[in-house]
Structure 1
């Protein structure tokens, strides 16, 4: 694809998972399939508001505790990717 917008136009919305601190649904509510696209925003600004509005039913958050506002991007990505791998059955038991 020549641009992110072109990719979004070709991708069925059900294959898209957007992570945002403003979402209502938890990342554990995501149903991941092989080939899905998980999108994280910048640590400083998150994802573009227009993107979140366009795909509002595909937005998920990582629930936080107490006064914590957010996690850094690497930690958030690790949590969500691990959950996706778990759903896909890619994790081995030790």
Structure 2
């Protein structure tokens, strides 16, 4: 069964993290938060964005990037960055891989990217745009990884409440 992982490197905006948490709950994805965080996890804006899903979130916190690496040895980590050489659709995502996204104001530090250039991925966009919203970026890449893993363990068919599809 696919069990993907989202890693947020020093996220700064609580509503982004709340929305990402909700997406993780909806997809059965684990969330990993690398500190320092730009907010407290009990802030109202996280609860509002994550709604009542936050209590169901599988979330792990790390004191820094080295703590993340130490506690996840051998993990395949794809680094989402505007500086990447590969488009996010050009790689094959393993069912248990990690998708890392940097903080809103600066992304993933270049020292980390340099050590991981073979797994650095990007979302194509116009060259006049600095970056996409963090929560949107996570959704784009996560759903590609889920698609490649055949949406394993997810509900693939919807049903009308009062009518039947014909």
TM-score, scaled relative to structure 1: 0.85
Provide the alpha-carbon RMSD of the alignment.
2.0
More moved, 80-89 vs 59-68: 59-68
Where structure 1 has 5 or more consecutive residues not aligned to the other structure, the ranges are none
Residue in 2 that maps onto 1:40: 101
Q: Which of structures 1 and 2 has the bigger CA Rg?
A: 2
Residue in 2 that maps onto 1:5: 69
Residue in 2 that maps onto 1:31: 92
**4+ long deviations beyond 6 Å:** none
Kindly tell me the number of residue pairs found equivalent between the two proteins: 91
The higher relative CO (CA closer than 8 Å, separation ≥ 6) is in 1
User: Kindly tell me: are residues 50 and 75 of structure 1, through their superposed partners in 2, closer, same or farther at Cα, counting changes over 3 Å?
Assistant: same
Deviation of 1:68 after TM superposition, in Å, equals: 1.9
Where structure 2 has 5 or more consecutive residues not aligned to the other structure, the ranges are 1-61, 159-166
Residue in 2 that maps onto 1:81: 142
